[in-house]
Amino acid sequence: MKPYILGAISCSLLALASAANANDRIKFDFWHGLTGQLGEVVERQCALFNGSQTEYEVTCTGQGGYDMAEQNTIAAFRAGEQPTIVQMYEIGTVNFMLSGAIYPANQFAKDHGLDIDWSAYFPGIANYYATSTGEMWSFPYNSSTAVFYWNKDAWAKIGKDHAPQTWDELGADLAAMKEAGIECGFAFDYDAWMNLEQFSAVNALPVATMDNGYGGLGAEVTFHETPFVDHMQRYKDWVDQGFARVQTQQTGKSLVQAFADGTCASMVHTIGNHSVIKDTQVDGLNWDVTLMPVIDVDNRHNSIVGGAALWVLQGKSPEEYKAAAAFLAYVTGAETGERYMVENTGYIPVTLPGFELLKNSGFYEQDRFRGREVAIASLTASDVTPLTRGIRLGNHIAIRNEIRTAMETFLSGKADVKTAVTEAAERSNQTLRRFEQTYRGAELP
């Protein structure tokens, strides 16, 4: 029986047992941005918390996606109707830090007696959510990073039993696969998190000035001046040569579907989809995950985190904060938080103790979960540097959209790669200047 099914049964029993006490509880709201099966996992965790004690009750409400969670929370705060806790994706960090709506996590923990060992968080995760001086303003919750998914049988057809470590090696492998009759050796979509941000991190390339924006609101993007341009030209050449293809719902099926059904032999994608592929793969698909390729195998750096953290909002009652503290202790605990999230999703543990707990229990030796530890190896491949701790740019979602537009433009032949990427950078910098003007005089913490 799958862990999340067990969780659902437990939730039902706990809910029945505690229903009589519900009216006496201190209630508070938690808004989250996950949908589908992942949203169900969060809802079950809330129910488990409610059933684990009789003093507090959390109401968990999905917002229909991370973007909507951010927009709805900002609007609710302005109206004085904000939740006590909200789950916010990593690229919303700068917006929340400057919002004036946040009760910083490190101060909240201190004020409410939460025993949080901030040093236990993996640096590649903690640094994305920390201030420039290392103070944690949110609680890392669901985390992922990018890995390379590969079909072992496809590589066997070209006489290899290992995945490529560099992009040049992958290119040579794809040429050999084409000769061997494999129609789609590699697939990708327009996602900037994988194609730009993870690529830049593992190769220690800047995305923007001022330490990728951590140094202040005056940062400008520079990805059009780095090997990212050559990387996109590589993608374009592979498509033209028939080695690779763009795979999206608009082209017939998603990137994950195309790998899981054996259509395409490899992809770079989030470890968060590891369980999805296990659940949806065709019978006999012989696959694995490994570190994503780099330019130089001797110069590999840590990848960066994806996912979201939990933020506490200002303006709530002492009673609600007391309840929120109990909830945060529950969802950040190694057993009730990290283990639950990892077993029921493709996400990874966010702390070293959480990882050790899973490893020592034999979690990564089980077929269903084997390979997930690669994400930890990726996040810890090097010491975190100013170029590999994350990206802190205002209105980051708009910049990601510019990367998507650039890729669509050069892959459709409407412009060459350099021109399309440069124009995306110019528009991104206009976005940054507007953001800086909006927060004129403010400083990033």
Q: Rounded to whole angstroms, how far apart are CA atoms 197 and 192? A: 6
What is the number of alpha carbons within 13 Å of residue 4 lying toward its C-beta?
15
Say how far apart CA 284 and CA 307 lie, in whole Å: 30
- Same domain for 266 and 415, yes or no, is yes
* Domain shared by 97 and 134, yes or no: yes
Residues 175 and 313 in one domain: no
| Whole-structure pTM value | 0.92
Please state, as a whole number, how many other Cβ atoms lie within 10 Å of the Cβ of residue 360.
Answer: 9
Nearest Cα neighbor of 201 from 294, 272, 298, 289 is 294
For residue 358, CA distances in Å to 113, 319, 324, 343 come to: 27, 34, 26, 9
Q: Are residues 92 and 42 located together in one domain of the fold?
A: yes
Q: Report whether 44 contacts 37 (CB < 8 A).
A: no
Residues 268 and 398 in one domain: yes
Residue 378 lies in a domain: no
Per the domain annotation, does 114 fall within a domain?
yes
Is 199 part of any domain? yes
Say what the pLDDT of residue 5 is: 42
Alpha-carbon distance values, 113 to 56, 321, 322 (Å):
17, 11, 10
Q: Evaluate whether residue 414 is within a structural domain.
A: yes
**What is the CATH classification number for the domain harbouring 196?**
3.40.190.10
**445 inside domain:** no
Residue 4: per-residue pLDDT: 43
> Are the CB atoms for 376 and 189 separated by under 8 Å?
no
Q: What is the largest CA-CA distance in the chain?
A: 70
Q: Is 163 helix (H, G, I), strand (E, B) or coil?
A: coil
Domain membership of residue 335 as a residue range: 3-144+305-365
- Give the chain's length: 445
Q: How many domains does the chain have?
A: 2
User: Do 194 and 294 fall into the same domain?
Assistant: yes
As a whole number of angstroms, the distance between CA 365 and CA 359 comes to 8
Based on the fold, state whether residues 356 and 244 are members of the same structural domain.
Answer: no
Same domain, 82 and 217: no
pLDDT (0 to 100) of residue 395 = 94
**What pLDDT is recorded for position 132?**
86
The answer to whether residues 420 and 347 belong to one domain is no
Task: Answer whether residue 388 is part of any domain.
Answer: no
Do the Cβ atoms of 3 and 344 come closer than 8 Å? yes
Q: Three-state DSSP class for 62?
A: strand
Tell me whether residue 385 is in a domain.
no
Residue 373 inside a domain? The answer is no
Q: Are residues 289 and 406 in the same domain?
A: yes
Strand partners, 245: 187
| Same-domain pairing of 312 and 289 | no
Q: What is the mean pLDDT of each run of 10 residues along the chain (445 residues)?
A: 45 47 85 94 97 97 95 95 96 93 97 95 93 93 97 98 98 98 97 98 98 96 98 98 95 94 97 92 97 98 96 98 98 94 92 94 94 96 95 96 98 98 98 96 89
Q: Are residues 288 and 324 in the same domain?
A: no
Distance, in Å, from the CA atom of 278 to the CA atom of 294, rounded to the nearest integer, reads: 26
pLDDT at 20: 42
